[in-house]
Amino acid sequence: MAQDALLKAIEEDARAQAERIIEESEEAARGIVKDAEDEVSGIRAERLAALAQRLERRKASLLNGARINTGALKLRARLDVIERVLALTEERARGTTREEYGTLLNRFYEELEKKWLEEAETEPPIVLVNPEDAGLLDGRGIEIKTDPGVSIGVVFTSRDGRKRYENTVSSRIRKARGEMVMEIDRLIFGGPPDG
């Protein structure tokens, strides 16, 4: 009987030790799981923060690209409108009456003649005009040649062809283009485009 009591005591002691070991193991397992969850949570937070930064940089890049493209489109649209205005200027000169056009052509001739003389050109020029315009400069005692490439104006050339002075609507537009573009932009759009 004493052995039974001893065995029972050993069994109870073993059971108690087993329960303590199980509890300690479960506690250790809970600690390991909590540490793992904390580590995973930290890794997740780091990755989310890194991803958020990448997304912010990408968003900023896309926004900047969109702003640049928008500015380019606005500028292109403005320049298209300005080009149409310049083309209409030339068209308007073509649309004048024959009498008004003759006055304009003779004024272009006189301006070019003055420049020719100021440049100390001693020989008389050959005057090039559009075939439709030749009759508008008659009676000046000059050699006139028709050239279908000359439009709305006159061109003086030296006999050897080395010197060429042009006074046409398109040449005047080319010369004054920068100022005209700024003025048209100011009149139509109120000034230079905002970025």
pLDDT in tens, 125-146: 888 988 888 888 766 677 888 8
Judge contact between 112 and 91, C-beta under 8 A.
no
Q: What is the pTM of this model?
A: 0.54
Instruction: Provide the pLDDT confidence category of residue 166 given band limits of 50, 70 and 90.
Output: very high
Instruction: Let me know whether 104 and 138 are in one domain.
Output: yes
Instruction: Let me know whether 68 and 121 are in one domain.
Output: no
- 153: number of Cβ within 10 Å: 24
Instruction: Let me know whether 81 and 125 are in one domain.
Output: no
Q: Are strands 126-129 and 143-146 parallel, antiparallel or unpaired?
A: parallel
Residue at a domain's end among 95, 123, 149: 95
- Predicted pLDDT at 191: 65
Instruction: Let me know whether 112 and 165 are in one domain.
Output: yes
Q: Give the pLDDT confidence of 47-86 residue by residue, as tens digits.
A: 888 888 998 998 888 888 888 888 788 778 777 877 787 7
Kindly state whether residue 195 falls inside one of the protein's structural domains. Answer: no
CA–CA–CA angle 91, 127, 124 (5° rounding): 150
Instruction: Provide the pLDDT confidence category of residue 103 given band limits of 50, 70 and 90.
Output: confident
- Predicted pLDDT at 97: 85
Q: Say which residue the tokens 């493209």 belong to.
A: 69
Nearest to 167 by CA among 152, 150, 154: 154
Total count of domains within the chain: 2
- Predicted pLDDT at 155: 92
Kindly state whether residue 22 falls inside one of the protein's structural domains. Answer: yes
Query: Which tokens go with 151?
Result: 């439009």
Angstrom CA distances, 39 to 34, 42, 46, 47, stand at 8, 5, 10, 12
Kindly state whether residue 194 falls inside one of the protein's structural domains. Answer: no
Instruction: Let me know whether 6 and 82 are in one domain.
Output: yes
Instruction: CATH number of the domain at 105, please.
Output: 3.30.2320.30
Instruction: Provide the pLDDT confidence category of residue 151 given band limits of 50, 70 and 90.
Output: confident
- Predicted pLDDT at 192: 62
- Predicted pLDDT at 1: 62
Instruction: Let me know whether 102 and 89 are in one domain.
Output: no
Kindly state whether residue 57 falls inside one of the protein's structural domains. Answer: yes
Bigger pLDDT: 109 vs 93: 109
Nearest to 119 by CA among 90, 65, 176, 158: 158
Please give the mean pLDDT across all residues of the chain. 82
Over 80: is that where the pLDDT of 101 sits? yes
Residue at a domain's end among 95, 115, 150: 95
Over 60: is that where the pLDDT of 195 sits? no
Owning domain of residue 90: 1-95
CA–CA–CA angle 166, 120, 131 (5° rounding): 30
Over 80: is that where the pLDDT of 120 sits? no
Residue at a domain's end among 95, 124, 157: 95
Instruction: Let me know whether 105 and 180 are in one domain.
Output: yes
